Structure 1
Amino acid sequence: MLQQIPGTWYISSELFNSTWEPGLTLSITSFMTKCMYWSTDRQMWSTDGCQVGERSTPAHTHCLCNHLTLFGSSFFVMPNHVDITRTAELFGTVSQNFVVLSLLCAFFSLYLLTLAWACYADRRSLSRRKITLLEDNHPCAQYNYLISVQTGHRKNAGTTANVTVTLIGSEGQSDTHHLKDPDKPVFERGALDMFVLATPFPLGDMQNLRLQHDNSGGHPSWYVNKVTIQDLQTRHVWYFLCDCWVSSDRGEGMTKKTFNAAKNYEIASFRDIFQNRTSTGFRDEHIWVSIVDPPSQSPFTRVQRVSCCMSLLLCTMAINIAFWNIPENEDSPVVFSIGSLQITWQDIMVGVESGLLMFPINILIITIFRSIRPRIISKPHKSSPEEALKPLLVTIPTILKETEEVISLVRRSQRNKMEKMHSLESLADLCPALNRVHELIHVVQGEAESDFHWVYCSKFLLAALSRLLVCLERLDGKNFPSSQEYIQTLDMTNLLVRQADMVFSSHLAYCPLPVKKKTTPVGCWLPWWCVFLGWFLLLALSGVSTFFTLLYGFYYGRAKSIKWIMSLGLSLFQSIFILQPLKVIGVAVFFALLLKPVAVEESEEIEQVLLEQQDKCRRYCGRDSL
């Protein structure tokens, strides 16, 4: 019997007189719909004066209204009804219908195997994620650059050779530094390696980058994709689009190459941004592909990615099976058939609808883990504070070598106006070298206008002279030709320290060092402890999805469960190979059209490395004020 109320109608069950015949099948379809009109007075949809007519079907709504106005219909497809109170009864049929249970067991087995591999890969990646403070940085150098080297993804792109780098700027060039880390391998295929390089003074606008390797090891050939240099004081970034082989037997056959900084039009080109965004998108945004090779600096671990994939898979199965057993449309055309297996257009539409319903859930689950900042735990300083960096035995050759190195570093800038000096071979060369340093201090003192160059240069001289003074004080005067010469050298060094301190304080007063403001990260970042909330939601969603998938599977029976698996396969196929790639490519095109390059993000790990460097400088020169 059809019962009707204003705006809606429903089917009620009522006994009626009939003769029941064996084999007679009675099919009852229930659905909800309503008629509404647009009220111009209230500016909203309303059901007043409208009711659903008896000729309504699941595809069309028959509306009866007592006024003439714009009206429409709302149609909501309810999922298949399953009685939860029959859970024990339905689960008791597992021996007759183990299709869905077997599928879930196979997926969970695959998940556990992949999870074990992901744990191993995450531990391996964590040890290689660190930002390296270069060992050959001079301890007194305090102007820092972050060098990010991206090795290509081509076959055998990684190198076993020892790589060196030289930065060339408009105001000078750095010393040649070895890019290596004793705690991890560097320059592996597809890896992003980050190094902190320190100089005594700012190099100005970065113009060139010189890379070279010694062609050693079993696989010395190296394919460099891109190098990014960031001034950690001014946050300015330079891009070097290398994209070539540094090799003796590949490409141009050169193991030493100089690259020019990319121009603005090269950085903002559609091709470059699209390629970078697409590569980053498939390695990070495509949840299924990113399990294999996620970005090395991403806080979204492989374990979390695998678990999110499993949760999404279970949720897809639950949504798919809940809307599966709808009335079959006999007029639905068969798209293709393999033997007795037939796939109709209705089957494809079920897969499409399930995939579209999963899209927002996909973004929600992944965003939770992606938006959690990793917990950074401060590393305790190593014991043996001073002896770890100072030589156990101070000798005359040590003093001469360190003094020669200081002069060699500061003369790399033309602004310091220092000529090339011969190597220091004996104590007789020490006093002329100190006189050269004295002249440089006068040059710095005579500069009326203060800038970062003079601040950092005077700071470097102060730290280096303080180190020299400590070494001379520890050195016995018997190593000098006479005690008078020893005292004279000691007094001269003490005088230079006081002058360098005065010059540094003077320039620092007029040009303070940049204050490292606590920058607000781009986007909405969650505190580290939200990872527990993310895992709770993930496990809860997975558990609920598994329960309802099994419940519906037992409710449908074996035959319909097998047919449902075919629709599930179509849904997974379109999610992995259609929806996810389209999302990645769409985002890449969007940013490329906006001409927005990949940003260089701030990192708390960089701050820890800089604190480690400052502590190293204090212990090296013996001054806490630096």
Structure 2
Amino acid sequence: MGVTPLADNDQSNQYFYEIIVFTGLRKGAGTKSNVQFVLSGDVDDTNVRTLSDPHRKVFQRGSVDAFLMAVPKSLGYLNCIRIWHDNSGEGSSSSWFLKYIIVHDLQTMEKFHFICQKWFAVEKDDGLIERVLPVANDLEKQEFSFVLAKSAYHSISDGHLWFSIFSRPPSNRFTRVQRCTCCFVLFIVSMFLNSMYYDLSNEAKTKISNSTASLSFGSLSIGREQITIGIIVELFALVPSLLLVQLFRRLRLRRLYLSPVQQALSKLKPNWALNVEKQKKRKCSLTFPWWCIFIAYGLCILLVGVSILFIVARGIEFGDEKTQKWLISILTGLFSSILLTQPLKLLILAIVFACFCRKLNEDKEALEFLDYESLELNFDEEYLHFPKKKFRSLSYANRLTEAEIAYARDQRLKELRMWSIIRETTIYICFIALLYIVIYSHDQTDPSLQVHHFRRYFLNSRQSDCDYTQISTVDDYWKWLQESFVVNLRAQRWYNGETPRNLSGYLNDKANRLIGWATMRQLRIRTESIESCPNNEKQIQAICYEDYSYSNEEKDSYSPQWTNLITKTNFSSSIRKSFQYQTSEQSDTYPYVGDQGIYPGGGYIYEFRGRFSELQSNLSELRQLNWIDKQTRAVIIQLTLYNPNVHLFTQMNFLLEILSTGGLSTSSRFEPLDFYALTSTFQLICNVLYLVMIIYLMWIEIQLLIKLKWKKYIQQFWSWIELGIFVCSWTSLAIYVWRYKECQRIGRLFSETNGYVYINLQMASYINNILVYLFGFCCFFGTIKFVKLLRFNQRLCLFIQTLHYSANELISFSFMFTIVFMSFVALFYLLFVSQISSCASILLTAQMLFEMTLMKFDTQELIAAAPILGPLAFALFILIVVFVCLSMFITIINDSFRQAKENAEKDNQVMLTFMIRRFQKFIGWKKVVEDERSEFLRAKYVDPIENFPKKVDQLLTVITRLYLDETDGKLQL
């Protein structure tokens, strides 16, 4: 702490000025460059003076540096100060943000303000590193922005109780130990008040058991009550802490020592001390004797002791749930004090002082340098710059030329871009690593082996007589049910004939357990819809059977054998129930997408419940009762399995679709589900870091959007990639929360019933599929963006530029190609829809034509279907699409490639060269950098002889104005 005498002071000079320099708080505001100035007044100007300190670093971010300057005589009323630096700092240390300067005349006690609030940097604002600052008048010193900036700086560094522990002004009497003590008292008292609330309040006791609106993290629950109580209690605890803070701040010093500055100035100018005493008369503030520090610490010990005693005595009676809520309230109060209460207090005080308490001569930030009581040191302080020996440095104007400034600006801008590229690369590598960790950690086990096992196990493709994929009649389907499916659905005897034990509910593979039971759901068409046939069709058959649709779905309940008559036959409850319609809510079923249609939830459901023999007899009865008849359009078997060895659930669906043409279509779907995601701390940390990274990247994109404006922003390709990443990430978060709630519901049902009730995982499977799709798109967009990091590769850059130049032509070409291609799709579909399976639908026809475009198509099937039209259509397609359209596509690419090669961007290559040279400088190869600087300055060099005629003309013009009379043109002697 203290005032630094300038190194170039002359010992014979007897007039002194104190110069206080305020450096800004912005990022990179500090500098290591050499700062010089010239101070001008009405009477005289100073020489070039240097602001430096041999003992400590000056002009750091947010610092206040004071210097003592000696001059031969008074400069009079100060007009301006010319200040600059030589840009000698490395990297960001070369730039400097100057807030303002106060020059204090130590003889007349006048203060002069020079307001700047600008950068001295070659790469920021106007790029100037030299400025002339005029003295500020009263209106400028009372300007709102200037007053607010001053008060905000002082509030943050000294007023914020928590932050001021680290940013406390060096000469402030409120020490760091005292600040830490006040913070500790505030924290302990808030703990005490929180415990009082949870111990005494009946409302809290009732809310503890009834509160449900909370966010849960395992056993930890965060509710609105804890947050509200934490904030309110913190406000009450703020009162004793404020009293302690004021008591510590207003303590007077015990012993005072005369400052070396006063000694030096008194010796240099004996009457200076007398003038100071005359100027020191001011209004004294309320202070306390030095021994009140014992009272302050005693109050702290008393508050802490009483609080801890009560916490220990009453807190031990708290239960686990109440203790958790108490801790949440404490942490909420702590964070609200740091991030809410203290900043809000400082903001209000700063605005109030800026609006209503503007005093021209009050500078709290510089009070330690302008208040001469503070020049007197405490017993535990020493003066840093005691003049034991004389030192002197030569001062000369170390200004940079325009060419040097241009070179420094060019190098600095390249350096900023280099660090931006390095930061972008590092951040994105971390992002892509977190992305892959988060996505692939959701599938900890490989489900492909499980799915492969179930396919072989249930589809029974090894036996040709019971192969599910080869079913062609309803009898084949019943045979597969009775001889394959039901046999595998129950655990049979071991190979040695022993009965399996403790395997109730397990499949015959003895490894997977059935959750609840399997269901077989049938969807039918109504009887009314099949009687409305055309007259010509009625002559052939009495009724017709239409395809399935929502409008003709059967929803009535029947007796066995699909009759409305009451039968006297004694059927089991499961048989009778299978002929009664159940809605989707009653059966807990959801829509299912098949190959031939979309089937809603609900239907006629048979439940595979009971022993193996009962299942066999029930299936035989259903077959005899024609449970599957001509009105049946779909039969869906659904079951849920759980493998405890790998903690993997599997939702199975077997679909039989009966077509109106008489054919059958079978399909199956095996969807493994892992409900045990985020089981490790590492996974949880990676997920949280991924969300933080997404928020950070969104903030960067918002800044870029503000900079480029909306229209220019959306024209960039990489902007759409970023938007794709953000949309997929946040949507996947919402879907994950949805899946989490569904899993919680299923988990509660499973734990309550031990898995002995039917649990349909179809909705969870749908949600999981959506989540997987979003994860896939996240990986796609993230990997595509990785190409941007490789833009310094010349060939890749050329490839990107080629796509950029060909974008408009390719869009126009795509419209033309789509029209031509779709015309051929229509042609082939209409010609061969009934003859070639590859043309059975529009989509399959388009797929066949794409294969034909790649020349990977067997024409034998086409020729066999139509010996004349087939080869003709094929030749026409090859001629127009392959020869003409693809040739046009290649021509567009070639033309754009030539254009990109001619107009290749050299900016990336220049940056690559700059980064290589910086690396060479880092390893000590300085010759390359020196050669680059010499080459740049040589290119900017202008021979003085070229400007000689112009300078002569300027000289003659000045002489003419000074010595020639403008009226008669005669020389004035």
- 1:535 is matched with 297
- Bigger proportion of residues as helix: 2
Deviations 1:446-494 (A, max 9, x none): xxxxxxxxxx9xx99xx89xxxxxxxxxxxxxxxxxxxxxxxxxxxxxx
Matches within 5 A, 1:268-417: 268-325=142-199, 326-328=201-203, 330=206, 336-338=214-216, 346-373=225-252, 378=257
CA distance in 2 between partners of 1:605 and 1:568 (Å): 39
Residues 165 and 369 of structure 1: is their aligned pair in 2 closer, same or farther, counting only changes over 3 Å? farther
**What is the CA deviation profile of residues 425-446 of structure 1, one whole-angstrom value per residue up to 9, with x for unaligned ones?**
xxxxxxxxxxxxxxxxxxxxxx
Kept in 2: contact 1:333–1:345 (CA 8 A): no
Query: Partner of 2:109 in structure 1?
Result: 235
> CA 1:178 to 1:539, structure 2 compared with 1: closer, same or farther past 3 Å?
farther
| Counterpart check, 1:146 vs 2:24 | no
Q: Relative to structure 2, which stretch is displaced further, 366-375 or 182-191?
A: 366-375
Post-superposition Cα deviations, 1:79-103, rounded to whole Å, max 9, x if no partner, equal xxxxxxxxxxxxxxxxxxxxxxxxx
1:604 has 2:373 as partner: yes
Distance 2:335 2:259 in 1: 49
Shift of the alpha carbon at 1:568?
1.7
Tell me by how many angstroms 1:193 deviates: 0.5
Are 2:22 and 1:260 aligned? no
CA pair 534-513 structure 1, distance change in 2 beyond 3 A: closer
Give, as a single letter, the amino acid of the residue that structure 2 aligns with 1:212. Answer: W
Contact 2:259 2:376 in 1 (8 A): no
CA distance in 1, matches of 2:175, 2:22: 20
Matches of 2:252 and 2:65, distance apart in 1: 20
Shift of 1:583: 1.0
Aligned mates of 1:211, 1:264 — CA distance in 2: 22
Q: Deviations over 1:235-289 (max 9, x none)?
A: 3322222122223454434333221122222211222222322232122211112
Kindly indicate whether residue 401 of structure 2 is the aligned counterpart of residue 523 of structure 1.
Answer: no
Asked if 2 retains the 8 angstrom alpha-carbon contact of 1:157 and 1:189, the reply is yes
- Match of 2:94, SS state, is coil
| Cα gap change, 1:535 to 1:259, in 2 (>3 Å) | same
State which structure, 1 or 2, has the greater radius of gyration over its C-alpha atoms.
2
Secondary structure in 2 matching 1:556: coil
User: Secondary structure at the residue paired with 2:179?
Assistant: helix
Counterparts of 2:113 and 2:171 in 1: how far apart (Å)?
Answer: 18
Question: Structure 1 residues 560, 270: closer, same or farther in 2, change over 3 A?
Answer: same
Tell me the secondary structure at the aligned position of residue 17 of structure 2.
strand
| Identical amino acids, percent of aligned pairs | 31
Pick the aligned partner of 2:322 from 525, 546, 560. 560
Output the CA distance in 2 between the equivalents of 1:256 and 1:343: 56
Q: Are 2:220 and 2:324, in contact at CA under 8 Å, matched by a contact in 1?
A: no
SS at match of 1:194: strand
Distance change in 2, residues 1:255/1:587 (3 Å): same
Asked if 1:594 is matched to 2:317, the reply is no
Q: Which residue of 1 aligns with 2:48?
A: 176
Equivalences for residues 87-166 of structure 1 within 5 A: 129-166=1-38
1:476-528 deviation digits (Å, cap 9, x = unpaired)? xxxxxxxxxxxxxxxxxxxxxxxxxxxx9xxx9xxx95644544565323445
1:320 aligned counterpart, secondary structure = helix
Check conservation: 1:131, 1:606, Cα contact below 8 A.
Answer: no
Tell me the secondary structure at the aligned position of residue 50 of structure 2: strand
- Number of the residue aligned with 2:333: 571
Contact 1:150 1:190 in 2 (8 A): yes
Contact 1:376 1:604 in 2 (8 A): no
- Indicate conservation of the 8 Å contact 1:139/1:616, yes or no: no
Segment drifting more, 536-545 vs 280-289:
536-545
1:232–1:531 Cα change, 3 Å? farther
Letter in 1 for 2:372: S
Instruction: Tell me the residue number matched to 2:630.
Output: none
1:202 alignment partner, one of 74, 77, 87: 74
Q: Which amino acid aligns with 1:152?
A: G
Structure number with higher relative contact order (C-alpha < 8 Å, ≥ 6 residues apart): 1
Q: Which amino acid aligns with 2:373?
A: E
Q: State whether residues 280 and 372 of structure 2, in contact with CA within 8 Å, keep that contact through their aligned partners in structure 1.
A: no
Gaps of 5+ in 2: 378-382, 392-973
1:29-52: CA deviations, max 9, x gaps? xxxxxxxxxxxxxxxxxxxxxxxx
Question: Structure 2 length normalisation: TM-score?
Answer: 0.34
Is 1:545 matched up with 2:307? yes
Is the alpha carbon distance of 1:211 and 1:297 closer, same or farther for their aligned partners in structure 2, counting shifts above 3 Å?
farther
Change (3 A) 1:203 1:283: same
Task: Specify whether residues 559 and 513 from structure 1 end up closer, same or farther in structure 2 by C-alpha distance, changes over 3 A only.
Answer: closer
Q: Secondary structure at the match of 1:167?
A: strand
For residues 540 and 520 of structure 1, do their structure 2 counterparts lie closer, same or farther at Cα, with a shift above 3 Å needed? farther
CA contact (8 A) 1:334 1:343 kept: no
1:137–1:197: 8 Å Cα contact kept in structure 2? yes
Query: Compared with structure 1, are the counterparts of its residues 212 and 305 closer, same or farther at alpha carbon in structure 2 (3 Å cutoff)?
Result: same
Residue 530 of structure 1: CA displacement? 4.0
Aligned counterpart, 2:629: none
Preserved CA contact (<8 Å) 1:334 1:345: no
Instruction: State the 1:328 CA deviation.
Output: 2.7
Cross-structure match for 1:583: 345
Give 2:179's aligned amino acid.
Answer: R
Q: Secondary structure at the match of 1:243?
A: strand
Query: How many angstroms apart in 2 are the aligned matches of 1:605 and 1:199?
Result: 25
**Structure 1 pair 533–145 and aligned structure 2 pair: CA distance change class (3 A):** farther
**CA distance in structure 2 between the partners assigned to 1:248 and 1:593 by the alignment:** 35
Q: Contact (CA 8 Å) 2:42, 2:78: kept in 1 or not?
A: yes
1:45-96 per-residue CA deviation (whole Å, 9 max, x = no partner) reads xxxxxxxxxxxxxxxxxxxxxxxxxxxxxxxxxxxxxxxxxxxxxxxxxxxx
Over 3 Å counting, the alpha-carbon distance change for 1:347 and 1:165 in structure 2 is same
TM-aligned CA distance change 1:596 to 1:168, over 3 Å: same
Paired position in structure 2 for 1:29: none
Contact kept in structure 2, 1:131 and 1:605, CA below 8 Å: no
Residue 520 to residue 175, structure 1, CA distance change in 2 (3 Å):
same
Cα distance change of structure 1 residues 380 and 333 upon mapping to structure 2, 3 Å threshold: closer
Structure-2 separation of matches of 1:260 and 1:595? 25
Paired residues in the alignment total: 366
TM-score (norm 1): 0.52
Structure 2 counterpart of 1:571, one-letter code:
G
Supply the distance in 2 between the matched residues of 1:320 and 1:559 (Cα, whole angstroms): 14
* 1:314–1:616 CA distance, 2 compared to 1 (3 A): closer
Query: Structure 2: how far apart are the matches of 1:232 and 1:309?
Result: 39
**5 Å matches for 1:19-98?**
none
- In structure 2, the CA distance between the partners of 1:234 and 1:335, relative to structure 1 (3 Å rule), is farther
